């Protein structure tokens, strides 16, 4: 690793913690302070105390300056709470001038939080910044259903009917579902997914990176609050989030880049399919809060679309 300073630049280490979605926050912070024309902008290195399957995804998405470190740093926020871990990290990385501990759950108020004011940026800008826009492929007629989850009470209970309704509403689209049966050491099951319409693709246990290749070329993403939801945001893919923490401010502040894309997790599948169809067939409706679409209306009239 080349850690020599250039023009007196600070060398900043950002330690990002959590799952694939949580780790995006570290990239947002680093992106904002390392871009631009200031020759003295910081040099940024990223460090992730995560298990191998999570780090593999991060390396795929962000191959430059991403480094895996021991999960011990993140057990109960050890780096934050215990000087022993801070000393150990600094001993292993003596070239760093500044180290930040970036965790969405701490909401920028911990002792080693990212000092956004130092860099003349605000936390709203950090949260809304997209860092994977250059990684998206030309959109194809694919609806990516990122509804596999290992988090209790985050699953969508009407999955089979949703797929059937989506297939009927959008017959020229492929409804893609990566059917993950194990994640993070947990066994997962999403019910009977056999004998479905022909435009539904149930992809049994794809490699996560293989499924992300599908996500990159998808036109739309239906998701719960999971890592793929956050990745799709950063790719610039329109989303509908079936939100298990709908309208709960603490969760909005930490994990919803755009609350306007959220509706309640238990919304019936027919309504979900209609919202997705409306967003796709009239893209202007994706510019308003998804909850406005819970009831069907004459959207050309409501949005005052002008035709000449």
Residue 1 lies in a domain: no
Quote the domain boundaries for residue 217.
134-302
On whether both 148 and 77 belong to a single domain, the answer is: no
The reply to whether 6 falls in a domain is: no
**How far apart are the C-alpha atoms of 218 and 4, rounded to whole Å?**
41
- Residue 1's pLDDT is 60
Where are the alpha helices (H) located in the chain, listed in sequence order? 24-34, 52-61, 78-81, 83-92, 123-128, 159-169, 208-216, 227-235, 249-255, 269-281, 299-302
Q: 179 and 112: one domain?
A: no
Residue 236 lies in a domain: yes
Domain match, 142 and 51 both: no
pLDDT at 151: 87
Question: Would you say 23 and 58 are in contact if contact means Cβ atoms under 8 Å apart?
Answer: yes
Give, for all 308 residues of the chain, the pLDDT tens digit.
656 555 568 999 999 999 999 999 999 999 999 987 777 889 999 999 999 989 999 999 999 999 999 999 998 889 999 999 999 999 999 999 999 999 999 999 999 999 999 999 999 999 999 999 999 999 999 999 999 988 889 999 999 999 999 999 999 999 999 998 887 778 888 889 999 999 999 999 999 999 999 999 999 999 999 999 999 999 999 999 999 999 999 999 999 999 999 999 999 999 999 999 999 999 999 999 999 999 999 999 999 998 76
72, part of any domain: yes
Of the three residues 86, 110, 131, the one that is the final residue of a domain is: 131
Is 2 a member of any domain?
no
| Neighbour-count burial of 27, counting CB atoms closer than 10 A to its CB (0-12 exposed, 13-18 middle, 19+ buried) | buried
**Do residues 157 and 266 make contact, with C-beta atoms less than 8 angstroms apart?**
yes
Q: Are 124 and 189 part of one and the same domain? A: no
- Asked if residue 149 belongs to a domain, the reply is yes
Query: How much is the pLDDT for 185?
Result: 75
Same domain, 191 and 239: yes
3-state secondary structure 237-255: CCEEEEECCCCCHHHHHHH
Number of domain units in the chain: 2
Q: Can you give the pLDDT at residue 2?
A: 58
Give the CATH number for residue 235.
3.40.50.2000
pTM value is 0.93
**Domain boundary, last residue among 131, 150, 183:** 131
| Domain match, 34 and 152 both | no
Clarify whether residues 30 and 170 are in a common domain. no
In a domain, 308, yes or no: no
214: alpha, beta or left? (left if phi > 0; alpha if psi -120 to 50): alpha
Report the mean per-residue pLDDT for the chain.
Answer: 94
Check whether residue 147 and residue 226 sit in a common domain: yes
In a domain, 3, yes or no: no
Beta-bridge mates of residue 47: 15, 67
Query: What's the pLDDT score for residue 234?
Result: 98
Same domain, yes or no: 173 and 251: yes
Is 143 in the same domain as 272?
A: yes
Q: What pLDDT does residue 107 have? A: 94
Judge if 147 and 264 occupy the same domain. yes
């Amino acid at each position: 690793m080349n850690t020599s300073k250039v023009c007196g630049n600070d060398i900043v280490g950002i330690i990002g913690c959590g799952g694939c979605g949580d780790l995006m926050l570290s990239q947002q912070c680093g992106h904002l302070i390392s871009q631009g024309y200031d020759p003295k902008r910081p040099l940024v290195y990223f460090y992730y105390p995560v298990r191998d399957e999570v780090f593999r995804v991060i390396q795929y998405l962000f191959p430059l300056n991403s480094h895996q470190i021991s999960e011990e740093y993140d057990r109960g926020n050890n780096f934050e709470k215990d000087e022993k871990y801070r000393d150990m990290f600094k001993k292993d990385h003596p070239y760093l001038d500044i180290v930040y501990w970036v965790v969405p759950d701490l909401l920028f108020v911990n002792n080693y939080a990212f000092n956004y004011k130092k860099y003349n940026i605000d936390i709203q800008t950090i949260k809304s910044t997209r860092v994977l826009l250059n990684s998206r492929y030309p959109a194809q007629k694919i609806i990516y259903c990122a509804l596999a989850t290992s988090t209790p009470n985050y699953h969508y209970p009407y999955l089979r009917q949703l797929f059937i309704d989506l297939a009927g509403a959008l017959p020229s689209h492929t409804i893609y579902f990566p059917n993950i049966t194990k994640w993070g050491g947990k066994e997962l099951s999403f019910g009977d997914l056999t004998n479905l319409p022909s435009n539904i693709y149930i992809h049994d246990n794809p490699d996560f990176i293989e499924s992300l290749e599908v996500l990159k070329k998808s036109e739309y993403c239906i998701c719960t609050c999971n890592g793929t939801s956050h990745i799709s945001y950063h790719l610039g893919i329109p989303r509908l989030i079936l939100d298990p923490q709908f309208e709960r401010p603490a969760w909005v502040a930490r994990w919803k880049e755009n609350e306007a894309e959220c509706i309640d997790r238990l919304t019936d599948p027919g309504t979900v399919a209609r919202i997705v169809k409306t967003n796709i067939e009239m893209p202007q409706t994706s510019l308003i809060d998804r909850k406005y679409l819970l009831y069907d209306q004459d959207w050309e009239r409501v949005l005052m679309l002008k035709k000449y």
